[in-house]
Amino acid sequence: MNKTISPSASIDRWEIFFKALIRKVAQPTTEWPTVRCWSKSGLITVLVEIRNQEKDHLLTTFPHGEAILEHLQKTGLVSRVEVEAASPSASTDFYLLDFDGTSPREVDPLELLQAFKPEGIICYFSALSYYGLTTQIASQHHIATLSKPSSTPATRNDSDQEETSTAGGVKRNPLGQKAFTFQEVPFFWTRRTPSKLVGIQTREKAPRTRFRITTLEQTLLDTLHRPFPCGGLSVILEAWEKGSRTMDEQRLAEHLAAMAHTDTYRRVGALLDLMGTPAPSPLKTRLDEIKNGMPRPSPESRIPLLPGIDFPSTNETWQVGVP
How does pLDDT run along the chain (323 residues), one tens digit per residue? 444 544 444 568 899 999 999 999 999 999 999 999 999 999 999 999 999 999 888 877 888 889 999 999 998 899 999 999 988 777 789 999 987 665 667 899 999 999 999 999 999 999 999 999 999 999 999 999 999 866 555 444 444 445 544 545 556 788 999 999 999 999 999 999 999 999 999 999 999 999 999 999 999 999 999 999 999 999 999 999 999 999 999 999 999 999 999 999 999 999 999 999 999 999 999 999 999 998 888 888 999 999 999 999 999 999 999 99
Residue 114 pLDDT: 98
Residue 160 pLDDT: 41
Residue 64 pLDDT: 87
> Other C-beta atoms within 10 Å of 218: how many?
23
Termini Cα distance of the chain: 61
- Return the SS3 of 143: strand
Q: Which residues contact 202 (CB under 8 A, 6 or more apart)?
A: 33, 210, 211, 212, 213
Distance CA 149, CA 195 (A): 8
Please report, as a single letter, which amino acid is at residue 261.
H
Residue 90 pLDDT: 72
Q: Domains of the chain (ranges plus CATH)?
A: 11-107 (1.10.10), 116-150+158-163+173-322 (no CATH)
The DSSP annotation for 249-296 comes to HHHHHHHHHHHT-HHHHHHHHHHHHHHT-PPPHHHHHHHHHHHHTPPP
| Cα–Cα–Cα angle for 158, 164, 168, rounded to 5 degrees | 95
CB 315 within 8 A of CB 322: yes
CB 258 within 8 A of CB 252: no
Residue 296 pLDDT: 83
Helix-, strand-, coil-residue percentages of the chain, each rounded to 5: 35, 20, 45
Residue 172 pLDDT: 72
The structure's pTM equals 0.89
33 closest CA partner among 127, 128, 93, 121: 121
